[in-house]
Structure 1
Amino acid sequence: MIQMDDSQVKEIVEQQQIGMLCYVHRQTGQLITFPNPEQFSDLESEEWQDQIDQVQSFPDHYWKVAIMTSREEFALMEQFARYEAAEPLQSRLLTILGQSKPFRHFKEAVDRSGSQRLVWFSFRDKQKISWLKQQLTLAD
């Protein structure tokens, strides 16, 4: 199990939200981040090369922090729509989740929902922090 305090876990969630890969040093708990090449294929990696080299040179020293799968992300959106969102947003989100391109349409609906947008961000962040803490307990 890797030991991290709440601020470190929150930092990882925030970094993942902006598309960063996160690695934690197994002994020191040092966090290393760099852009996920799957999301930033056109990004020059030179500025991140030191971090990438450090992880690649000593792969056994670092734990790659798991990222929620799209199925897990969908379940999170569904849970919010069913139990946290207020009407009329709730009905709209439940409809969206049954249609094509639910991720994009969910984001658009939440972005236009006024104060419910902040409720979504708070819910999402709390759930991702909880999920990540569970992943940390499973890490060797």
Structure 2
Amino acid sequence: MNTTRQQIIREIAQELDCGSDCYYNLKTNEIIAIPDFSQVFDEEEFKEAFGEALEKLEQHKTDFIKIESLESFESFKIMEDFAAQIKDLNFKIELQAILQRQKPFQNFKHQIDQSNFRQNWFDFKQHELEKIVAKRLH
């Protein structure tokens, strides 16, 4: 199967959204996603699950580009940008207020999940992540 650049970008963006670091092999179009090790509690389980992938990365270091999961400020910026483009003024004000208070990530997610804008958020976030991935692949 011939994978297009856009499919690669989409897949990497989805992995980043799950909190994984991605490694992209320019020669083979292979993508290896590894969850953030600091989020994993059992080192043995981690090695068992990702040992083969880690070994492949080690053996072919120069063939892979690492695309790291987003820093929290980058994720926060995506939330700000989403709130800024909302046409419903009341909901826009609610989201912007949430972003100024404590626990903005948790509260933003809760507010979005309870709204009619849930799918809009997922689409917006995916699009923004794809733009970030495309930049990092250059």
Question: Do both share a fold (TM > 0.5)?
Answer: yes
Please tell me whether the aligned partners of residues 16 and 70 of structure 2 are also in contact (alpha carbons under 8 angstroms).
no
Which ranges in structure 1 are unaligned for 5 or more consecutive residues? none
Identify the residue that residue 118 of structure 2 maps to in structure 1: 117
Which letter does structure 2 place at the counterpart of 1:38?
Answer: S
Equivalent residue number for residue 133 of structure 1: 134
Deviation at 1:29, TM superposition (A): 2.1
Corresponding residue for residue 74 of structure 1? 76
Q: Is the helix fraction higher in 1 or 2?
A: 2
- 1:1-140 correspondence runs (5 A): 5-42=5-42, 44-45=45-46, 46-84=48-86, 86-113=88-115, 115-137=116-138
Identity of aligned residues (%): 26
Question: For residues 34-76 of structure 1, what are the alpha-carbon distances to aligned partners after superposition, in whole Å with 9 as ceiling and x for unaligned?
Answer: 2221223336120221001111233222111133221121111
The answer to whether the 8 A contact 1:86-1:116 is kept is: no
Q: Deviations over 1:10-44 (max 9, x none)?
A: 11111122222210113222111222212233361
TM-score (norm 2): 0.86
Matches of 1:101 and 1:85, distance apart in 2: 24
> Which deviates more from structure 2 when the two are superposed, residues 95-104 or residues 85-94?
85-94
